[in-house]
Amino acid sequence: MIDYPEYYERCKVKYSADNKISRDASKEEAFYRDPVRQYDLSSISESYNTAVKSLAQKVKYDLDNDIDVKDDGIMPKHYNIWKFSSEIDTICNILVPKLEEDMFLCNLYVDKIYIYRTSPVEERTSSYIWHYDNNPNEVVKTLIYLSDVKDDRNSPYEYFVNPEGSGILGKSTRTGGSVWYVPANNSRVNKEVDSLMSQDKGYSTKKVFGPQGTTCSFVNNAVHRANPVIEGYRDVINIRVKTTLEPVEKFADPRWTSGFETSGVVDRNPENAWNKLV
């Protein structure tokens, strides 16, 4: 069984050959060097703004009225993403090609979509403490705000940065092939972040603020956390993509895209892409 880095390399080779484009070493290196990126997709297509607004209204209604929602005490989570299939299709049709061209340089498909609301928790735990997801580095999530996040009171996404201002990757213990085991402390790294922050060597954090539709993509092992809501609410859709050799029929589809109903751990074999799941 090959690992994710090797499979990703194969995907990039095939993508450049199929699309008759030269490989750009600087872009390929930037994938890991610049693992957290904000995208202004509102300027690309008005349909993106319309889809986000429509999705936001529907999601707010369901979360406000406890429809298709489960609250585990950490955050209310939506368990029926396909009732929003029209909005999801529009968003993915704009977002995923952008990630293919600017970040991955290969074909992608959507394997996970999470819709949820952060909460005013009294004690930080789970996603509210510093962590990384511990899937292979070649897995990327995109967080789209469905509500305005104007300041610290509105639960901004926050990530840990090095002295150069770039996101920092945690060490994945799941890379595929022979490397696949549980990480120390379940990839929670509060102590490590606190230690580096206390050394006065330039380490810091960045928070993502912005209006409804603000879009931030990040390598899933970028060290990050959610912040508790202090005022108002924060609804999001989180779209996760994976590399694939073969162009997908449709970016997000119930045949290969799931939500909270299944585990977030990716398949150990990267070759089990969308076309193997049909």
Return the structure tokens found at 126.
């789970």
Classified as helix, coil or strand, 275 is: helix
Cβ 202 vs Cβ 254: under 8 Å: no
Residue 269 included in any domain: no
pLDDT, tens only, 188-218: 999 999 999 999 899 999 999 999 999 999 9
Residue 266 included in any domain: no
Q: What is the CATH number of the domain that holds 93?
A: 2.60.120.620
CA–CA distance, 32 with 105 (Å, rounded to integer): 13
pLDDT, tens only, 166-180: 999 999 999 998 999
Residue 274 included in any domain: no
pLDDT, tens only, 19-61: 999 999 999 999 999 999 999 887 777 899 999 999 999 999 9
In the prediction, which pLDDT does 228 show?
86
DSSP category for residue 65: T
Return the structure tokens found at 122.
């009294």
Residue 97 included in any domain: yes
Residue 22 included in any domain: no
Domain span at residue 254?
4-17+29-261
Nearest to 45 by CA among 96, 91, 82: 91
Return the structure tokens found at 159.
């990530």
Give 163-186 as a DSSP string: TTS-B-B---SEEETTEE-PPGGG
What is the phi/psi pair of residue 118, to 5°?
-75, 160
The CB-side HSE value for 187 (13 A sphere, CA atoms) comes to 22
Residue 239 included in any domain: yes
Residue 200 included in any domain: yes
Q: What is the pTM of this model?
A: 0.95
Q: How far apart are the first and last CA of the chain?
A: 21
Residue 277 included in any domain: no
> How many domains would you assign to the chain?
1
CA–CA distance, 180 with 34 (Å, rounded to integer): 25
